[in-house]
């Protein structure tokens, strides 16, 4: 841990809410948290003695602002405002997540790069998929603290006493509800309508596959219903560009080594120059042949079949094996697409994305 960062964190802890009359009733602590694609970082928690949960503020973005010349006074004021706005006014029942039946309809998969997250993966149940890993989160929406996610840790998983294949089946079925697919121009229009008006139509341009909130939506490439439909519409197989952990691009497979080499080179360059470290997914491109996901080696262009393998049991989970009954209850994903055409982590103001909630 950077010693300068540690000194800054201790300064924040010492002076946060220093002008508040009942500061003695606040439990102010620093603790290490771990995010996707990141090493342990220091976060600040401030909990009133009469409350059972506490807002948790990652301090890395505040430290960057401090190093860039922002005053400690302004930083403290910003952190205090965030804590006040996210502090619940009454106790929250967090024990319900320990019962699998309470949360099974809220479990979602999150796909990450394996090598970038070895320490995190040691702490959570997960499946391996080529150079990627799939872990689980519980998606929550609380009237006082807003939306967020609780990562399923080994402790939570052990307490559930449920086979990981059942959890994966449930998570994939839940994911299908929120899968969305748009052309690239449609995504630009959502983000910047004025820019979309001046861009020309994209002939045979890539499609963006993600989820409704575009947060950890790259898992949508495991939605076999959508991937098969895209393959049927686009052509004989599709190429998948892992643009980030939040979304992937899908385009027609030209069945040429030149295309694969060019795409691999482009992905590697963009990852090196543009994609933020916390959003990185992979330096490899992928192929879907209508049945299976395949990884294209960046150097050799070798095609490597991808199997979803439990890190707990070593068993292979077939992506087509999600419960038919569950899928029926969730409804038709493609019809929906056609119709459309603990401790609570506070949003990191740098990327404005809520990553995780922790008990």
pLDDT in tens, 1-28: 578 999 999 999 999 999 999 899 999 9
Q: Is the pLDDT of residue 195 over 80?
A: no
Q: Which of 11-25, 32-46, 84-98, 320-334 has the lowest mean pLDDT?
A: 320-334
Q: What percentage of residues in the chain have a pLDDT greater than 70?
A: 78
CB atoms within 10 A of CB 155: 12
Band of residue 346 on the pLDDT scale cut at 50, 70, 90: very low
Residue 182: partners with Cβ closer than 8 Å, 6 or more residues away: 190, 207, 208
Band of residue 285 on the pLDDT scale cut at 50, 70, 90: very high
Instruction: Take residue 40 and report the two structure tokens written for it.
Output: 């342990």
Band of residue 323 on the pLDDT scale cut at 50, 70, 90: very low
Band of residue 159 on the pLDDT scale cut at 50, 70, 90: very high
Band of residue 92 on the pLDDT scale cut at 50, 70, 90: low
pLDDT average, residue stretch 299-317 = 96
Band of residue 59 on the pLDDT scale cut at 50, 70, 90: very high
Q: Is the pLDDT of residue 257 over 80?
A: yes
Q: Is the pLDDT of residue 294 over 70?
A: yes
End-to-end Cα spacing for the chain: 24
CB atoms within 10 A of CB 343: 19
8 Å CB contact between 343 and 32: no
Q: Is the pLDDT of residue 45 over 80?
A: yes
Instruction: Take residue 24 and report the two structure tokens written for it.
Output: 């003695």
Q: Which pTM was predicted?
A: 0.78
Instruction: Take residue 34 and report the two structure tokens written for it.
Output: 């771990």
Q: Is the pLDDT of residue 194 over 90?
A: no
8 Å CB contact between 28 and 46: yes
Interatomic CA distance for residues 134 and 231, integer angstroms:
23
Residue 112, CA atoms < 13 Å, CB-side half-sphere: 24
* 259-270 per-position pLDDT tens digit: 999 999 999 999
pLDDT of residue 32: 83
Q: What percentage of residues in the chain have a pLDDT greater than 90?
A: 57
Band of residue 185 on the pLDDT scale cut at 50, 70, 90: low
pLDDT of residue 353: 43
Number of residues in the chain: 359
């Amino acid at each position: 841990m950077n010693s300068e960062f540690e000194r800054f964190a201790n300064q924040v802890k010492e002076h946060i809410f220093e002008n508040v009359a009942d500061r003695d009733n606040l439990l102010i602590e620093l603790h290490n948290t771990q995010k996707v694609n990141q090493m342990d970082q220091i976060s600040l928690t401030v909990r009133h003695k009469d409350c059972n949960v506490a807002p948790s503020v990652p301090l890395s973005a505040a430290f960057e602002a401090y190093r860039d010349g922002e005053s400690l006074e302004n930083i403290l004021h910003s952190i205090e405002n965030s804590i006040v706005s996210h502090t619940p006014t009454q106790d929250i029942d967090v024990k319900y997540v320990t019962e699998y039946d309470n949360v099974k309809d809220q479990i979602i998969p999150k796909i990450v790069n394996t090598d970038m997250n070895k320490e995190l993966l040691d702490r959570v149940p997960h499946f391996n998929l080529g150079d990627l890993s799939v872990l689980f989160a519980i998606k929550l929406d609380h009237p006082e603290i807003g939306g967020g996610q609780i990562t399923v840790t080994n402790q939570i998983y052990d307490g559930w006493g449920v086979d990981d294949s059942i959890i994966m089946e449930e998570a994939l079925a839940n994911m299908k509800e929120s899968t969305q697919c748009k052309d690239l121009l449609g995504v630009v229009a959502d983000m910047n309508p004025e820019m979309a008006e001046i861009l020309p139509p994209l002939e045979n341009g890539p499609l963006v596959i993600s989820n409704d909130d575009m947060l950890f939506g790259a898992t949508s490439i495991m939605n076999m219903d959508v991937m098969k439909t895209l393959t049927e519409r686009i052509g004989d197989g599709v190429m998948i560009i892992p643009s980030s952990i939040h979304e992937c691009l899908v385009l027609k497979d030209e069945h040429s080594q030149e295309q694969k080499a060019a795409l691999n080179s482009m992905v590697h360059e963009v990852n090196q120059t543009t994609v933020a470290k916390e959003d990185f997914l992979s330096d490899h491109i992928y192929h879907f042949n209508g049945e299976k996901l395949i990884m294209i080696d960046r150097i050799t262009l070798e095609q490597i079949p991808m199997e979803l393998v439990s890190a707990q049991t070593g068993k292979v989970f077939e992506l087509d094996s999600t419960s038919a009954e569950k899928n029926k209850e969730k409804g038709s994903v493609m019809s929906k697409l056609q119709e459309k055409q603990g401790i609570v982590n506070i949003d990191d103001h740098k990327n404005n994305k809520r990553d995780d909630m922790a008990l």
